[in-house]
Amino acid sequence: MIRFGTFLVVGCMLILAGAADRAHARQPNIVILLADDLGYADLGFQGCQDIPTPNIDRLAAGGTRCTNGYVSGPYCSPTRAGLLTGRYQQRFGHEFNPGEAGAGMPVEETTMADRLKKAGYATGLVGKWHLGGNPRFHPNQRGFDEFFGFLGGAHPYFADRGAPILRNDQVVDERDYLTDAFGREAVAYIDRHKDHPFFLYLAFNAVHTPMQADDARLKRFKKIANPTRRTYAAMTSAMDDAVGAVLDKLTASGLEDDTLIFFFSDNGGPTMASTTVNGSINAPLRGSKRTTLEGGVRVPFVVRWPGKVPSGKTFDGAFIQLDVLPTALAAAGVAVQPEWKLDGVDLLPWLRGEKQGAPHDSLYWRFGSQMAIRQGDWKAVRYDSTADGKPGRKATPARLYNLADDIGESQDLAEAQPEKLKTLLANWDEWNAELVTPLWGSGSRATAD
């Protein structure tokens, strides 16, 4: 009887231990924190001195900082289309912002929310959509169970400046400063779904124009003389506060170790006079939003998953935001199928040091008449001539740079290395032949956001 009782106790302990292991092995939560038009140099962990970003720095310190993280376009909407599909957006015609009536990310494309929802995740979007305003393009029709935010590109930050905020398909009377509202809603979303794996896409419109900040934060930066930079600093600080609220909520809910987080910007900061300048700085990179120079497509990038991705480390391999989707799927235990035709790869083996080198042999860009290709440290690029101070928004002749020696793309090696340039351009031509004609916009005029 004693022996039977002992076996019973031991058996119960094993069952409970197994249940605990299964609970611990739950699918991780997936959180994407997307900044909008953020300058490469404008975070503390990127060396910024005049704008404290303690919460985003905390995120970077607890994860892996990626020094060669790219996005697949230099504009807001196209990179979002690439992010959510894991495919170069030029493959399905989403090359420019959908400014034309009825334009939006093709409904034939499957989103990250679609795929994670099928895997059992709750799915939520808080913030900026910018992938089409017609009902068939609405986030609730593209895999998101819950949506709080706005459908277009630029949006005011105060309720009295016009333009609605939606909860799913209903207009709400939102009175908080918009970045604060997005932080509040993200925290509430985590609270509602903390007992079940969730996907949260928190897409800030900070620090996109219009340049609007609340008085309390403006006072924090009264020593910044330039009024545009001062407002930009206040807007960045609001975004950092919202990121901090999300991190604190995950910790308080006991979810910190069970959450894979990505933080990056949708493109580089707009620093050229031909864009909606917001006071951002892209140093040491050259170029701006709306160019295929590094300043347009290389962005601050952090991946954090405690115990699964190294903390306090730097990863220098070149990769692209198209990799976020397959990385999230791998973490969730979802096998990528060949028929999905994803361009991204699972980054986890590289981040963990299980694989060496760069995740891609080549990275590609096409934005109308602008183009770029990166292979190893070499980059061939045709970029907007306004980056050289020339009018007309025409693409330059092809230039060649070695990014290992010249991150600022200042020394054109096209004449010194003509065969290298020829090879890169030929490889880009092969990729370009796979793409389709843009569904809207043109090579000479991208719709404004």
Q: What is the pLDDT of residues 139-166, one digit of tens each?
A: 999 999 999 999 999 999 998 777 899 9
- How many structural domains does the chain have? 2
* Cα-based torsion angle of the residue sequence 81, 348, 290, 445 in order, rounded to the nearest 10 degrees: -30
Question: Quick one: 405 and 268 in the same domain?
Answer: no
Q: Are residues 375 and 327 in the same domain?
A: no
From 48, 66, 76, 360, the catalytic residue: 76
Percent of the chain topping pLDDT 70:
92
Cα gap 65→351, rounded to integer Å = 10
Q: Are residues 209 and 304 part of one domain? A: yes
Determine, yes or no, domain membership for 19.
no
Task: Indicate whether 443 pLDDT > 60.
Answer: no
Residue with tokens 């739950």: 26
Q: What is the pTM of this model?
A: 0.93
Residue 374 falls inside a structural domain: yes
Catalytic entry in 48, 66, 94, 130: 130
**Residue 231 placed within a domain:** yes
CATH classification of the domain holding 387: 3.30.1120.10
d(CA 178, CA 127): 9
Q: Supply the DSSP string of 203-257, one letter for each residue.
A: E--TTSSS----HHHHHHTTT--SHHHHHHHHHHHHHHHHHHHHHHHHHHTT-GG
Asked whether residue 445 is domain-assigned, the answer is no
Q: Are residues 428 and 381 in the same domain?
A: yes
Tokens 């407002």, located at residue: 231
Regarding whether 331 and 388 lie in a shared domain, the answer is no
pLDDT in tens, 238-296: 999 999 999 999 999 999 999 999 999 999 999 997 778 999 999 999 999 999 999 99
Is there a single domain that holds both residue 413 and residue 380? Answer: yes
Pairing of strands 198-203, 29-35: parallel
Q: Which of 301, 327, 351 is the last residue of a domain?
A: 351
Task: Give CA–CA dist 371/351, Å, rounded.
Answer: 28
**249 and 131 co-located in one domain:** yes
Query: Do 203 and 340 share a domain, yes or no?
Result: yes
Residue type, 120: G
Q: What pLDDT does residue 390 have?
A: 83
Residue 12 bears catalytic tag: no
b/e per residue 250-285 (b: at least 16 CB within 10 A)? beebebbebbbbbbbbbbbbbbbeebbbbbbbbbeb
Please report the pLDDT score of residue 13 as a whole number. 52
181 & 35 share domain: yes
Q: Is residue 446 in some structural domain?
A: no
Residues 226 and 246 in one domain: yes
CATH of the domain at 59: 3.40.720.10
Query: Same domain, yes or no, for 255 and 177?
Result: yes
What tens digit of pLDDT does each residue of 96-116 get? 999 888 899 999 999 999 999
> What amino acid occupies position 115?
R
288 within some domain: yes
130 assigned to active site = yes
Cα(350)–Cα(330) distance, integer angstroms: 13
Confidence of residue 15 (pLDDT cuts 50, 70, 90): very low
Task: Compute the average pLDDT of residues 224-234.
Answer: 98
Domain co-membership, 371 together with 338? no
- For residue 405, give its domain range: 363-432
Peptide bond into 207 cis (omega under 30): yes
| Res 445 pLDDT > 80 | no
